[in-house]
Amino acid sequence: MSYQKSILMASTNMAAFRSRLPAAARSTRFVPLLCNRFYSNTSPKTIASLFTVRRTAPLTSPFTVSSRRGYVNGKDEELPEGLRYTEEHEWLALEDGNLAVVGITAYASKALGDVVYVELPSVGTSIVAGEPIGAVESVKSASDIYSPVSGEIIEVNEQLDKKPGLVNAEPYRKGWICKILMKDTTELESMMDNKGYETFIASS
Amino acid sequence: MALLHKLPATISGSCCIRNLARCSLVLDAASPSLHRTFASNSTSTTTPLLKTPLYDLHLAHGASMHPFAGFSMPITYESQSIVESNKWVRNQAGLFDVSHMVQHIFTGKDVTAFLERITPTDVKELAPYTSVYSMFLNNNGGIVDDIIITKHADDKYYIVTNAACRDTDLAFLDQQNKIHRPIDISHEILDGWGLLALQGPRAAEALQCLTDFDLTQLKFGNVGLVPFNGSEYWVSRTGYTGEDGFEISIPNDETLAFSEILLGQSNSVVKLAGLGVRDALRLEVGLCLYGQDLDETTTPIQASLSWVVGKRRRVEGGFNGFDLIADELNNGASRRRVGFLSDGPPARQGSRIYDETGTTLIGVVTSGLPSPTVGKNIAMGYVEKQFMKRGTNVLFDIRSRKRPGTVAKMPFVPTNYYR
The alpha-carbon radius of gyration of chain B (Å, integer) is 21
Please report residues of A whose CB lies closer than 8 A to that of B36.
204
The answer to the question of residue B169 being in a domain is no
How far away is chain A from the Cα of B245, in angstroms, using its nearest Cα? 23
B399 touching chain A per CB within 8 A: yes
DSSP state of A126: E
Q: Give the C-alpha separation, A23 to B375, whole Å.
A: 35
Of A114, A119, A137, the CB nearest to B81: A114
Residue whose C-alpha is closest to residue A105's, from A70, A68, A78: A78
Residue whose C-alpha is closest to residue B396's, from B409, B383, B386, B385: B383
Please report residues of A whose CB lies closer than 8 A to that of B400.
none
Q: Which residues pair with B368 in a beta bridge?
A: B379
CB contact under 8 A, A142 and B345: yes
Please report residues of B whose CB lies closer than 8 A to that of A141.
3-5, 24, 27-28, 30-31, 34
User: Exposed, middle or buried by CB within 10 Å (0-12, 13-18, 19+), for B167?
Assistant: exposed
Q: Give the C-alpha separation, A7 to A56, whole Å.
A: 8
Pair B273, B199 in one domain: yes
Pair B90, B206 in one domain: yes
User: In chain A, which residue's Cα lies nearest the Cα of B276?
Assistant: A140
Pair B205, B90 in one domain: yes
Q: Which residues pair with B336 in a beta bridge?
A: B383
pLDDT single digits (tens) A111-170: 899 999 999 999 999 999 999 999 999 998 999 999 999 999 999 999 999 999 999 999
pLDDT at B42: 40
B37 touching chain A per CB within 8 A: no
Please report residues of B whose CB lies closer than 8 A to that of A90.
1
CB contact under 8 A, A140 and B279: yes
Please report residues of A whose CB lies closer than 8 A to that of B66.
none
pLDDT at B46: 64
Residue-wise pLDDT tens for chain B (419 aa)?
Answer: 543 332 232 333 333 323 222 233 333 333 333 332 233 334 445 679 999 999 999 999 999 999 999 999 999 999 999 999 999 999 999 999 999 999 999 999 999 999 999 999 999 999 999 999 999 999 999 999 999 999 999 999 999 999 999 999 999 999 999 999 999 999 999 999 999 999 999 999 999 999 999 999 999 999 999 999 999 999 999 999 999 999 999 999 999 999 999 999 877 899 999 999 999 999 999 999 999 999 999 999 999 999 999 999 999 999 999 999 999 999 999 999 999 999 999 999 999 999 999 999 999 999 999 999 999 999 999 999 999 999 999 999 999 999 999 999 999 999 999 99
CB contact under 8 A, A141 and B4: yes
pLDDT at B16: 30
Pair B244, B357 in one domain: no
CB contact under 8 A, A135 and B344: no
Please report residues of B whose CB lies closer than 8 A to that of A116.
346, 370
Domain that holds residue B366: 334-408
pLDDT at A10: 38
Residue whose C-alpha is closest to residue B59's, from B373, B324, B272, B304: B272
The answer to the question of residue B243 being in a domain is yes
Averaged pLDDT of chain A? 72
Q: Is A90 helix (H, G, I), strand (E, B) or coil?
A: strand
How far away is chain A from the Cα of B70, in angstroms, using its nearest Cα? 20
Dihedral angle sign, alpha carbons of residues B325, B329, B330, B332: positive
- How many CB atoms lie under 10 A from the CB of residue B119? 25
The answer to the question of residue B1 being in a domain is no
Size of the A and B interface in Cβ pairs below 8 Å: 98
| CB-side neighbour CA atoms (13 Å) of B318 | 16
Residue whose C-alpha is closest to residue B8's, from B195, B21, B188, B252: B21
How far away is chain A from the Cα of B10, in angstroms, using its nearest Cα? 18
CB contact under 8 A, B32 and A89: yes
Of B32, B34, B346, the CB nearest to A137: B346
Q: Domain end: B269, B284, B299, which one? A: B284
Q: Domain end: B258, B284, B310, which one? A: B284
The answer to the question of residue B41 being in a domain is yes
The answer to the question of residue B83 being in a domain is yes
Pair B348, B268 in one domain: no
Higher-scoring residue by pLDDT: B388, A26: B388
Pair B248, B395 in one domain: no
Q: What's the number of domains chain B is made of? A: 2
The answer to the question of residue B341 being in a domain is yes
Contact B398, B345 (CB under 8 A): yes
Provide the CATH number for the domain around residue B402.
2.40.30.110
Pair B95, B196 in one domain: yes
Query: What is the DSSP code string of A128-190?
Result: -TTSEEEEEEESS-EEEEE-SS-EEEEEE-THHHH-TTHHHH-TTTTT--EEEEES-GGGGGG
- pLDDT of A44 > 70? The answer is no
Please report residues of A whose CB lies closer than 8 A to that of B35.
204
Pair B63, B197 in one domain: yes
B79 touching chain A per CB within 8 A: no
Pair B345, B265 in one domain: no
Pair B266, B382 in one domain: no
| CB-side neighbour CA atoms (13 Å) of A115 | 29
Please report residues of A whose CB lies closer than 8 A to that of B75.
140
Q: Give the C-alpha separation, B176 to B171, whole Å.
A: 9
The answer to the question of residue B58 being in a domain is yes
Provide the CATH number for the domain around residue B50.
3.30.1360.120
The reported pTM is 0.81
CB contact under 8 A, A113 and B36: no
Contact B69, B166 (CB under 8 A): yes
The answer to the question of residue B376 being in a domain is yes
Element of type H or E holding A119 = strand A115-119
Pair B209, B279 in one domain: yes
CB contact under 8 A, A113 and B82: yes
Pair B401, B257 in one domain: no
Q: Give the C-alpha separation, B299 to B303, whole Å.
A: 6
- How many CB atoms lie under 10 A from the CB of residue B177? 14
CB contact under 8 A, B399 and A135: yes
Q: What residues of chain A, 77 to 116, have a C-beta less than 8 Å from chain B?
A: 87-90, 104, 107-108, 111-114, 116
pLDDT single digits (tens) A72-122: 434 455 677 789 999 999 999 998 889 999 999 999 999 899 999 999 999
